[in-house]
Amino acid sequence: MVSGENRFNSETGCKVVTSKDLLVLLPSLAQGGVEISTINLLQGLTDAGVSTALTVVRSNGELWDLIPTDVEVICLNQPRLIRAIPSLVKVIRRIHPRAVLSNMVDLNLVATIACGLASAQPLILVEHIDPIARARAMEGVYERLFPLARRWLYRRADAVVAVSKGAAAGLVEGCGLPAKLVRSIPNALNLRRIQLLAAEEPPPQLNFSLNGDYIVSVGRLVPQKGHEDLIEAFGILRTRSEVHLVIVGDGYLRPKLEARVSDLGLRDAVLFTGFQPNPYAFMSRARVFVLPSRREGLSVAIIEAMACGVPVVATDCPSGPSEILYDGLFGILVPVGEPDRLAIEIEKLLCDPALGAELSKQGLTRAQDFNIPATTKRYLELFDEMGLNFGGR
């Protein structure tokens, strides 16, 4: 584990955690959009005078050193979420937080049970995906049981925050939650940190020397992210352009994607970088950022690309891209699952530098709406409406 390890208290440790305004829950501190945005929110809340503690179920992850120094961290050291319930109940009873805020749907279900057992309230759940889109993608017994569990348990929360308006609508329409229970507040991004990291060079071991003559996509290599469609689109684009494709991220689909690249004769034109702790170094030097996803909650990657000053082409998938891009005002939207259209719109940006420059300029402005202070302000407003008045506000 990285140097942040000495900052956390094991649930079984002897140190007593002092009472806090807010207890925030995450499965782990593995690199991911949810984890980073939650750490950013912790920073914003700490700066606003809200005393916070963070509980993680598992100790793995690369993000320990990003946690604000004023945030106390408790690690439950449990390999599975369901086994974390007794430990989480103990932590809640020991800290006596004035509120609990949980992230990610699986942990939200566990948190609802634990808070009920610990008689803790109020409970705020944060939903990072569109529940309707997720339900359609699930198979087998979980397709039937998971939505039922969410529908039943989420009603026991005092507020449910969705990271986009589309995800909020999915909670109301797909889960039957009362509209008054659901709020839409986007993820928090640290734009200053993104722009500082964007100025760094890509790691030398990759022999990265494309000099900006490439398009880039950043995300986990899983079906949800739609990289298969991107590779097909790039195969079409490559017949008319010498541009390269850089795919930043890792996942279990990588061997299949690499095989498809080879089948199309594109091995010399596509670079798989694997996981990169600083994806912004690749984003900022690209001519176009492409999001080919089939579903999203919000899509932090789009906002990160805009913060790096890169024009965006994204699929109009449920539920965040059209909201971020204002139905195409701040970037180009294409239908899901249409590689031909995706290739056409990428080529449009490559062939029209003026359009790319204009979208880059507008994107930088739009990204400010997702900066830490903007998101923190909306959470503080929610807390005030709930009568919490954290930090003596």
Specify the pTM. Answer: 0.87
Rg of the chain's alpha carbons, rounded to an integer? 21
Could you tell me which of 372, 385, 380 has the C-alpha nearest to residue 21? 380
Rounded Cα–Cα distance for residues 366 and 360 (Å): 10
Residue 349's contacts (CB-CB under 8 Å, 6 or more residues apart) are 287, 288, 311, 313, 332, 355, 356, 359
What number is the average pLDDT over the span 167-180? Answer: 88
Q: How far apart are CA 190 and CA 40, in angstroms?
A: 6
Give me the amino acid identity at 77. Answer: N
Q: What is the mean pLDDT of residues 360-367?
A: 96
Q: Is it the case that residue 196 has pLDDT exceeding 60? A: yes
Q: Could you read off the pLDDT of 142-151 as tens digits, one per residue? A: 455 566 777 7
Residue 134, pLDDT score: 55
Range of lowest pLDDT (181-185, 190-194, 320-324, 387-391):
387-391
pLDDT of 204 > 50? The answer is yes
pLDDT value of position 170? 86
Answer whether residue 114 shows pLDDT above 80. yes
- Burial track 200-219 (b if 16+ CB lie within 10 A, e otherwise): eebeeeeebebeeebbbbbb
Residues 274-303, mean pLDDT to the nearest whole number: 94
Give 36-94 pLDDT, tens digit per residue. 999 999 999 999 999 999 999 998 888 898 999 999 999 999 988 889 999 999 999 99
Q: Which residue has the higher pLDDT, 262 or 32?
A: 262
- Cβ atoms 120, 91 nearer than 8 A: no
pLDDT at 237 over 90: yes
Query: pLDDT, tens digit, for every residue of 258-274?
Result: 999 999 999 999 999 99
| pLDDT at residue 32, rounded to an integer | 84
* Buried-exposed string 338-372: b where 16+ CB fall within 10 A, e elsewhere: ebebbbbbbbebbeeeeebeebbebbbebbeebbb
Structural domains in the chain plus CATH codes: 3-188+371-392 (3.40.50.2000), 191-368 (3.40.50.2000)
Give the span between the Cα atoms of 29 and 39, in whole angstroms: 9
Q: What is the mean pLDDT of the chain?
A: 89
